[in-house]
Amino acid sequence: MPATCSSRPPAQPVSGWRYWRFAADAGRLISVSQRGFSWEPGAVLRARCVGGGHPAPDPGCSCGIHASADLASLREHALCLAPGVLVVGEVALWGRVVLDDHGYRGQLALPRRLWLVGGDQGGDLRTLEALRGYGVPVATMADADALGSASAATRAFLAMSGPGG
């Protein structure tokens, strides 16, 4: 049986951008998609197709680890409706990578850089410390830089109407 050759990204992985929720109590990045996949610190995330019965990503399906080509494309095309702590970051994608309309769907992924979105509230230091568990550079990014206007407006509304603020 061959050793898994996928435990670390190749020298030139595909670079993509995406959003996550951050579950501070669990110290985990969670995908903002309906599936809510958990990204374990330091572990390579492997795509799977739930219910598709084929290796992910498949060109004819929507499975795989989604990422936009760059931050501008992410802001424009990825509507982020998740309330709570939001993180934006750059990921390495490798293995099988499918070109999508505005980015990529990959088979294997690891975060490369992470930014806590809206880094000016109290409690950020603790969140930043937790994000460092991923072993990559961590910084903060203002809402206006990380989010398109529709996402920012939605999050502002959710923050005002959400339980307990």
Length of the chain (residues) = 165
**Residue nearer to Zn ion on the CB measure, 58 or 70:** 58
Phi, then psi, of 90 in degrees rounded to 5: -100, 135
The DSSP line for 111-155 is EEEEEEETTTSTTHHHHHHHHGGG-S-EEEE-HHHHS-HHHHHHH
Q: Does residue 14 interact with Zn ion by CB under 5 A?
A: no
Whether 131 and 114 have beta carbons less than 8 Å apart is answered as: yes
Out of 23, 49, 69, 152, point to the residue binding Zn ion (CB under 5 A).
Answer: 49
Q: Which stretch binds Zn ion (CB under 5 A): 39-47, 63-71, 73-81, 125-133?
A: 63-71
Helix (H) or strand (E) holding 75: helix 71-77
Q: Does residue 55 interact with Zn ion by CB under 5 A?
A: no
Q: Which stretch binds Zn ion (CB under 5 A): 17-25, 36-44, 45-53, 125-133?
A: 45-53
Out of 27, 37, 41, 52, point to the residue binding Zn ion (CB under 5 A).
Answer: 52
User: Interface mask (CB under 5 A) for Zn ion, residues 68-107, using x and -?
Assistant: ----------------------------------------
Task: Catalogue the long-range contacts made by 156-164 (C-beta closer than 8 Å, 24 or more residues apart).
Answer: 158/81, 158/83, 159/83, 162/83
Q: Which stretch binds Zn ion (CB under 5 A): 11-19, 49-57, 70-78, 154-162?
A: 49-57
Q: Does residue 63 interact with Zn ion by CB under 5 A?
A: yes
Three-class secondary structure of residue 76 per DSSP: helix
Binding residues for Zn ion, how many (CB under 5 A)?
A: 5
Gap between the Cα atoms of 97 and 88, Å rounded: 20
Residues near Zn ion, by CB under 5 A:
49, 52, 58, 61, 63
